[in-house]
Amino acid sequence: MVSYSIVDTGDSRSFPEDHPFLAGSGAEGEVVAYIGAGAISAWQEDLSRTAILVELHTETLGEVTGESRGEEGSNTIGFSRFRVGDGAPSDLVELVRQPHTDPAALEAARMVLEGAGLQVSECFDFAGRILDRLIRPYYNEALAKLDEGLATADDMDLTVKLGLGYPEGPIELLERTGLHHHHDVTQALFEVYGTRHYAPARRARVAKKRAKRGLS
C-alpha cells in the first residue's frame, strides 16, 4: 500500500462525490494529490515525495511543471478521471506523463489509483489526452451530420448502439451531459490543434451561447 495525502482545492471534476480514493487518504504520505479546480495553482514542487499528482481538465502537465528541450519530467504526474460534461465520472483515469517522468512516480500513482478501484491508462502530455482527443471529432461529426440530415438523431444513436455495441449514441450522450460543455472542450482542443475537426460544431456553439444567458 502506498500512503497518500490530498490537497483539496474544491470543485474537483474527477472526485465530485465520496469515493474510496478520497476516503483512503491520510495526513501525510509518500504521494500527494492536488485535486480540484485550483490544483494547478496550488501545486508545489516537492522532490521528497515519491509522486505528486495534479488534477487536469483541459490543461496540460507542461503548464504545471514547465517544459524544456523535450527533456521535461519529474515526480509530478497529471491525472484526470474521465467524464463527459455533467455526466458521472467514469472509472477511468488518464495518467499524464512527460518524456523523463520518474518511473517510480508513475508506478506509485498507478498503485494509489488502482487501489481505489479505478482503471488507469497512461499517456503523454498532449491536449485532450486520449479520450477527448478521440471522441470529440466524432461527436462534432455527429452534430454536423444531424444538421445535414444524414439521418434522424434517433437513427444515428440507434445505429452506433446496434452496429458497434456502444452503450449510448452521440446525440443522446451530448444532450444528457450538456452540449455547451462539448463546446468548451472542443474550443480548447481547436486552439491547440487548429484542425476543423476540433472546431465546436454549430449546435455546440448555439448551446454555449444559450448557456451564457443561463438557458439550457
Partner 1 sequence: MTTIQTVGVCGAGTMGAGIAIVAARAGYRTVLYDTNAKALDRAKGQTEAFLAKSVERGKLTQAQVDTALAGYKTTDTLDGLAECDIVIEAVFENLAVKQELFGKLNDVCPEHTLFASNTSTLSITQIASGCGREDRVVGMHFCLPAQLMKLVEMSPGLNTSDTSFAAAWAFCEALGQKPVKTKDAPGFILNYFLVPFNNDVIRLIEAGVAEPADIDRAIKAGLGYKMGPCELLDLIGLDTQVLLCDAFYGVTHDPRCAAPPLLHRMVAAGHLGRKSGRGFFSYDTDKMYGA
> What does the binding site for partner 1 look like in residue numbers (CB under 8 A)?
82, 90-92, 94, 119-124, 126, 129-131, 133-135, 137-138, 141-142, 145, 149-152, 155-156, 158-160, 162-168, 170, 195, 197
* Residue (104 or 138) nearer to partner 1, CB: 138
What is the residue type of 30? E
Closer by beta carbon to partner 1, 156 or else 185: 156
Looking at residue 118, its amino acid is: L
Q: What H or E segment, with its residue span, contains residue 121?
A: strand 119-124
Least CB distance from residue 177 to partner 1, whole Å? 12
CA distance 55 to 59: 9
| Angle 93-95-101 from CA coordinates, rounded to 5° | 165
The C-alpha atoms of residue 75 and residue 50 are separated, in whole angstroms, by: 7
Q: Which is nearer to partner 1, 177 or 187 (CB)?
A: 177
Closer to partner 1 at the Cβ: 45 or 166?
166
Rounded to a whole number of angstroms, the minimum distance from the CB of residue 45 to partner 1 is 25
User: Closest separation between CB of residue 192 and partner 1, Å?
Assistant: 13
Cα separations in angstroms, 33 against 5, 49, 79, 160, 179: 6, 11, 9, 37, 30
Tell the smallest beta-carbon distance from residue 200 to partner 1 (Å): 17
Minimum CB distance to partner 1 smaller for 47 or for 164: 164
Length of the chain: 216
Minimum separation from the CB atom of position 103 to partner 1 (A): 15
Phi–psi pair at 6, nearest 5 degrees: -125, 135
